[in-house]
């Protein structure tokens, strides 16, 4: 029984609860747990797939899908706060692409296995979490940043005076987590979601395509997504899918902008 619990990753929910207790950070605890789902799955069940000649290395698949690039997108804002709009766009593409494909076109999860010791319902739950919760967490970060900027601006207004020689740390205040950029003023959505953000979004897409997807497909023959299988899917649908991804990328920038307008300033 314990082996089945571990194989299915049921313990990861407890790990997330512990991480949240230890860090008091819902964002960090969640993105670690979400990554653990796919890591655990391919560690225990990777040998059932035929991607590579040596099935021991099939765990690499967890880094190949576009969804998997979302884990990196989630980490970026922790080190580079200015990348938060890009992370939003990537997770919007992942979430919208998955749910539209599943609900509108009934696309199946290519990596799902039907095994006696695998709880299919839990695999589905983890898949749904992968394609929804990270996007919500990005908005959580944006909301937190916006509130932090508002608090910093209030601190500056209270501290600054004719004889004030306060340092950046003094201006920020003891409870302020803002960076120098955050101290400059409130969140300006037009600066967060602009043409440069859209360029970076397309660059992310094409980088995944040319440096991850195409090499993997050439080496393994794995199409990753069933809709990209040229043996089963007519070319017009494949081209339509590629066009659809470009539209999603374009939309993501505008969705982020309009969502940003609702954050407290």
Structure confidence by residue, pLDDT tens digits, 108-137: 887 888 888 999 999 999 999 999 999 999
How does residue 164 score in pLDDT terms, banded at 50, 70 and 90?
very low
- The answer to whether residue 126 sits within a structural domain is yes
- The answer to whether residue 185 sits within a structural domain is yes
Q: Could you tell me the residue range of the domain that residue 123 belongs to?
A: 2-47+59-154+164-260
Q: What is the largest CA-CA distance in the chain?
A: 75
- The answer to whether residue 265 sits within a structural domain is no
Instruction: Write out the two tokens for 194.
Output: 């602009």
- The answer to whether residue 52 sits within a structural domain is no
Residue percentage of the chain with pLDDT more than 70 = 85
Highest mean pLDDT among 3-12, 162-171, 183-192: 3-12
CB atoms inside a 10 Å sphere around CB 201: 24
Residue 148 to residue 140: CA distance in whole angstroms: 12
- What is each CA distance from 27 to 62, 63, 75, 236, in whole angstroms? 21, 21, 10, 40
- The answer to whether residue 106 sits within a structural domain is yes
- The answer to whether residue 53 sits within a structural domain is no
Geometric angle at alpha carbon 55, from 120 and 4, rounded to 5° = 35
Give per-residue pLDDT as tens, 212-244.
999 999 999 999 988 888 888 899 989 999 999
In this structure, which long-range contacts are made by residues 196-200, counting pairs with CB atoms below 8 Å and at least 24 apart in sequence?
197/85, 197/86, 197/89, 197/253, 197/256, 198/89, 198/249, 198/250, 198/253, 200/86
- The answer to whether residue 75 sits within a structural domain is yes
Q: How many domains does the chain have?
A: 1
Residue 78 to residue 28: CA distance in whole angstroms: 9
Q: What are phi and psi of 223, to 5 degrees?
A: -80, -10
Geometric angle at alpha carbon 62, from 90 and 96, rounded to 5° = 30
Rounded to two decimals, what is the model's pTM?
A: 0.86
- The answer to whether residue 172 sits within a structural domain is yes
């Amino acid at each position: 029984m314990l082996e089945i619990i571990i194989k299915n990753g049921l313990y990861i929910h407890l790990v997330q609860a512990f991480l949240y207790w230890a860090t008091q950070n819902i964002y960090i605890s969640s993105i670690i747990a979400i990554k653990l789902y796919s890591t655990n799955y391919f560690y225990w069940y990777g040998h059932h797939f035929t991607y590579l000649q040596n099935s021991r290395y099939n765990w690499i698949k967890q880094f190949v899908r576009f969804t998997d690039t979302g884990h990196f997108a989630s980490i970026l804002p922790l080190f580079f706060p200015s990348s938060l709009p890009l992370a939003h766009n990537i997770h919007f593409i992942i979430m919208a692409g998955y749910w539209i494909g599943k609900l509108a076109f009934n696309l199946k999860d290519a990596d799902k296995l039907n095994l006696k010791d695998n709880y299919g319902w839990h695999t589905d739950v983890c898949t749904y979490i992968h394609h929804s919760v990270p996007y919500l967490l990005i908005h959580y970060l944006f909301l937190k940043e916006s509130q932090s900027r508002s608090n910093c601006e209030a601190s500056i207004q209270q501290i600054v005076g004719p004889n004030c020689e306060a340092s950046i740390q003094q201006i920020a205040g003891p409870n302020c987590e803002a960076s120098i950029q955050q101290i400059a003023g409130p969140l300006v959505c037009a600066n967060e979601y602009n043409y440069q953000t859209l360029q970076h979004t397309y660059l992310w897409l094409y980088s995944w395509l040319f440096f991850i997807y195409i090499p993997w497909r050439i080496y393994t023959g794995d199409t990753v997504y069933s809709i990209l299988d040229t043996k089963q899917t007519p070319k017009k649908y494949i081209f339509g899918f590629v066009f659809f991804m470009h539209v999603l990328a374009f939309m993501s920038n505008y969705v982020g902008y309009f969502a940003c307008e609702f954050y407290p300033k």
